[in-house]
Amino acid sequence: MSATSPIENLSFLTPGNYPDDDPAAGLEDTLRLFEFGERLGFDGAWIRQRHLEHGVGSAAVFLAAAGQRTSRIQLGTAVIPIGYESPFRLAEDLSMADVLSGGRLQPGFSAGIPPHAELIGDLVFDGDWRGYDLSYGRIERSPTGGSSGSSPTCAAIIWATRTWSSSHPAIHNGRGCNRTIPAWSTGSGTAVGAPGRCAGRARTD
């Protein structure tokens, strides 16, 4: 019987819920949870990004705040739906939050039709969003995507980070990286990065 490997990295995930009548208190409670998790010795604290729900609507903003309340723990997202985002602007926001945290961000992404699109899609997008490419291809067309060999959901973030701060990139691509690569998911598969190794793609197309 082979010996089991010990757990080397332990993180927790929270939705960051808050009551309708006092969202500030709920967000403060979640920030305190991140602080408490760090004191307990957890390696990572992850937040969900949700829309039209009682939780964190902007993971980048929340993690920028969490980065100022913690000093060691890794800060992750599981996940940011790419569909509602501008890849370039999201790259800038995550890059800024990563630098402010001292390089501790572990962003995760999901591709495909975002939640509640049938309800708010016509208000969010210009034109008929049903004909838009909301797959990884949307990210691969960003600078350094496609032919560069970068992980598809990371391409724009890598580009913006290198442009904004070449001495402190937020993440690296999936080839020869030496930092944690984020999680990215499709409807039926997820690849999650772990310290000291590089995650591969999780694609079903």
Q: How far is residue 25's CA from residue 31's CA, in Å, rounded to a whole number?
A: 10
Question: What's the structural domain count of the chain?
Answer: 1
pTM for the full model? 0.70
CB-based contacts of 27, cutoff 8 Å, min separation 6: 16, 18, 56, 62
Task: Tell me the CATH number at 29.
Answer: 3.20.20.30
Q: Is residue 204 part of a domain?
A: no
Q: Is residue 205 part of a domain?
A: no
pLDDT of residue 3: 73
Residue the block writes with tokens 């709920």: 26
- 3-class DSSP assignment, residue 168: coil
CB-based contacts of 118, cutoff 8 Å, min separation 6: none
Q: Is residue 200 part of a domain?
A: no
Q: Is residue 109 part of a domain?
A: yes
Angle at 43 between CA 65 and CA 88, to 5 degrees: 45
pLDDT of residue 76: 96
pLDDT of residue 71: 97
Beta strands in the chain (DSSP E): 11-14, 44-47, 74-77, 80-81, 105-106, 109-110, 184-185, 190-191
Amino acid occupying residue 205: D
pLDDT along the chain (205 residues), means of 10: 80 93 95 98 96 93 97 94 87 92 91 89 89 79 46 45 40 34 35 31 31
* Domain ranges, residue 85: 11-191
pLDDT of residue 141: 65
Are residues 195 and 126 in contact, defined by beta-carbon separation less than 8 angstroms? no
Are residues 120 and 127 in contact, defined by beta-carbon separation less than 8 angstroms? no
pLDDT of residue 169: 37
- Sort strands 184-185 and 190-191 into parallel, antiparallel or unpaired: antiparallel
Amino acid occupying residue 127: G
Q: Is residue 137 part of a domain?
A: yes
CB-based contacts of 181, cutoff 8 Å, min separation 6: 151, 154, 171, 172, 174, 193, 198, 199
Q: Is residue 106 part of a domain?
A: yes
Are residues 70 and 38 in contact, defined by beta-carbon separation less than 8 angstroms? yes
pLDDT of residue 98: 93
pLDDT of residue 88: 82
